[in-house]
Amino acid sequence: MPSADRRLQPRRTPRQVRAELTRERILAAAAHVFAEHGYAAGTTNRIAERARVSIGSLYQYFPNKDAILAALLIRHIDRGVWTRADELDLSPGTLEAAVRALVRDAIDNHGDDPQLLRIMIEEASFSQELLDTIDQHGKLRVGQVRDLLARHPDVHVRDLGTAAELITFTVETNIHKLMAAPRAIPVETVENELVDMITRYLRGPR
Amino acid sequence: MPSADRRLQPRRTPRQVRAELTRERILAAAAHVFAEHGYAAGTTNRIAERARVSIGSLYQYFPNKDAILAALLIRHIDRGVWTRADELDLSPGTLEAAVRALVRDAIDNHGDDPQLLRIMIEEASFSQELLDTIDQHGKLRVGQVRDLLARHPDVHVRDLGTAAELITFTVETNIHKLMAAPRAIPVETVENELVDMITRYLRGPR
DNA sequence: TACTATTGTGAGCAATAGCTCAGCTCTCTG
DNA sequence: CAGAGAGCTGAGCTATTGCTCACAATAGTA
């Protein structure tokens, strides 16, 4: 079995500007095509066509279809889409304010292309290498939330780890759903309700 | 464009017992194959092979691949997997007990084959006909939850509809995740935390 | 301008998918 | 037991996919 490196690494690195532009065009096209058709039906020919680039060019920068999706994912991660929790305000204040910051963060993170993100998470069959990277980032985020909870005096839950996991996932998916579907309920409403629910949960009995 | 009916309807209906058995074997095999390989990689040949049936037989009962998944979905719906909310105890009692019943219901519903359910919901490209059926069942469930909330004296939320949608989805996906992943957190723990969170949310301020 | 390295092209190959069909076997009925 | 229809088979057709490769065009350098 070829190593994950070889399977995802580009076969040629751009040296001239136009090459970099071509690479970008391919990635942009791939993002659109995957979001519109899904991963399986998002064919490489369709991507090349949309990028107004020949199929040959596509395969100069990406050794295979998986590599395109991998590049897309890495770009998202590098842009901080899943790591912005780093900058979360951990300073003491109202518990509600902290929770709201968490929810806002999730909303911001889904601004880009929620449909694409869905595809990337759910439909693709990633290499173990990539899966680990994603998982690591997820764990990191939950850990940060856990720390935030631990630091706040108003938090009273049975188990910090469980609570962190529960609220992180709940916020994530609810926002996810909200952004993917045609806005049936206003964003602010969902934000408020989520904040209410989680705050009351964290405050504990009484 | 052929009508959705024609695209999903079987081309031959079983008249003898052995035919019915064949049909069942195919469906059972499809459930396994889809759950294991996903929809795209779950090829019809693989399904036929696993069912120990020739590929020709498969196409006698299902006009195309989509129809197999559709049949699987319809069977789930008919079995009441998504409609058991009908039987939800709406009689008055502790709010917490009602919420717990809701969560338990979700847990029960995911008992069958969570992996398959995931595939069916997320990976397949359904016909509009089927999508409508699913959506209808979803709306029905949310409606029932809404009624339950409306009837309970302890519930104090800004908007019943929003609350119903929020908690239905939150319970659904959290349980979903719990059952799909290798049980990192015990079921009972998640159940308790979910019940706590939702109950406190519904009880409202104070 | 001439030479080289980089970048871009697209017809078409190999693999594989969904699916068909001509003909077989089995079950039922009289 | 014989005939008919229901059920079953699987080689292989057709379409499509991911991907290659021989070549053409462009950019950089002298």
Residue B168 sits at the vertex; the CA angle it makes with B162 and B173, to the nearest 5 degrees, is: 125
Q: What is the mean pLDDT of residues B131-152?
A: 79
Compute how many other C-beta atoms are within 10 angstroms of the C-beta atom of residue B195: 21
pLDDT above 60: residue B6 = no
Phi, psi of B90 (to 5 degrees): -95, 0
Res. A140 pLDDT band, cuts 50 70 90: confident
Search chain A and give the residue with CA nearest B206: A206
Q: Which residues contact B201 (CB under 8 A, 6 or more apart)?
A: A193, A196, A197, A200, A201, B157, B163, B167
Mean pLDDT of chain B: 81
Q: Supply the pLDDT for residue A178.
A: 87
Task: Return the residue matching tokens 């609220």.
Answer: A167
The tokens of A125 are what?
């069959």
Most confident of A108-112, A162-166, B12-16, B170-174: A162-166
Residue-level pLDDT at A1: 30
Q: What is the largest CA-CA distance in chain A?
A: 65
Which chain B residues 172-191 have CB under 7 A to strand D?
none
d(CA B30, CA B124) in angstroms, rounded, equals 13
Distance of A42 CA from D13 C1′ (whole Å): 25
Determine whether the distance from the CB of B12 to the nearest atom of strand D is below 7 Å.
Answer: yes
- Residue A166 reports pLDDT greater than 90: yes
B55 touches strand C (CB under 7 A): yes
Candidate from A125, A170, A200 with C-beta closest to B170 = A170
- Rg (C-alpha) for chain A, rounded Å, is 20
Measured between CA atoms, the residue of chain A closest to residue B192 is A158
The answer to whether the CB atoms of B170 and A165 lie below 8 A apart is no
Higher pLDDT, residue B125 or B203 = B203
What's the CA gap between B28 and B141, in Å, rounded? 27
Residue-level pLDDT at A43? 95
Mean pLDDT confidence for B154-159: 93
Separation CA B156–CA B148 (nearest Å): 13
CB of A53 under 7 A from strand C?
yes
A137/B105: higher pLDDT = B105
Minimal C-alpha gap between A138 and chain B (Å): 14
A-chain residues near B197 (CB < 8 A): 166, 170, 197-198, 200-201
CA B170 → CA A5, A8, B166, distances in Å? 38, 36, 6
Mean pLDDT, chain A, whole residue set = 81
> Is residue A90 very low, low, confident or very high in pLDDT (cuts 50, 70, 90)?
low
Q: Which protein residue has its CA closest to C1' of D16? A: A43
Per mean pLDDT, which range of A174-178, B5-9, B17-21, B148-152 is the poorest? B5-9
Give the burial class of B1: count Cβ atoms within 10 A of its Cβ; 0-12 exposed, 13-18 middle, 19 or more buried. exposed
Quick one: DSSP state of residue A113?
-
Each residue of B142-156: pLDDT tens digit? 888 898 888 888 899
Strand D nucleotides within 7 Å of a protein CB: 6-12, 16-22, 26-28
Answer whether B8's CB lies under 8 Å from B66's CB: yes
Is B14 in contact with B60 (CB distance < 8 Å)? no
Identify which has the larger pLDDT, B121 or A176. A176
CA B16 → C1' D7, Å?
Answer: 9
Say if residue B2's pLDDT is above 50.
Answer: no
Residue range A133-158: average pLDDT? Answer: 83
Mutation test of the interface with chain B: which of A37, A69, A122, choosing the one with the most B Cβ atoms within 10 A?
A122
**3-state SS, one letter per residue, for A68-102:** HHHHHHHHHHHCCCCCHHHHCCCCCCCHHHHHHHH
**Percent of all residues in chain B with a pLDDT value above 90, rounded to a whole number:** 37
Which residue, among A142, A157, A138, A143, has the nearest Cα to A199 in the 3D structure? A157
CB contacts of B191 in chain A (<8 Å) are none
> Per-residue confidence at A4, pLDDT binned at 50, 70, 90?
very low
Q: Find, in chain B, the residue whose alpha carbon is nearest to that of A195.
A: B201
Give nearest nucleotide to B56 (CA–C1'): D9
pLDDT in tens, B180-202: 777 788 999 999 999 999 999 99
Reply yes or no on whether the pLDDT at A57 is more than 50: yes
**Cα B44 to Cα B50: distance, rounded to the nearest angstrom:** 10
Predicted pLDDT of residue A5: 41
Out of A6-20, B90-104, B143-157, which region has the weakest mean confidence (pLDDT)? A6-20
Report the alpha-carbon distance of residue A103 to residue A109 in Å, rounded.
10
Q: Rounded distance, CA B74 to CA A95, Å?
A: 45
Q: Check pLDDT > 60 for residue A85.
A: no
Per-residue confidence (pLDDT) for residue B4, from 0 to 100? 38
Longest dimension (CA), chain B: 65
CA A60 to C1' D23 (Å) is 15
R_g of chain B computed on alpha carbons: 20
Higher-scoring residue by pLDDT: B107, B123? B107
- Do residues A104 and A87 lie in contact, with contact meaning Cβ atoms separated by under 8 Å? no
pLDDT tens-digit readout, B44-69: 999 999 999 999 999 999 999 989 98
- Does residue B130 have a pLDDT over 90? no
Cβ atoms B85, B141 nearer than 8 A: yes
- Residues 11-30 of chain B with CB under 7 A from strand C are 16-18
Checking if the pLDDT of A164 tops 80, the result is: yes
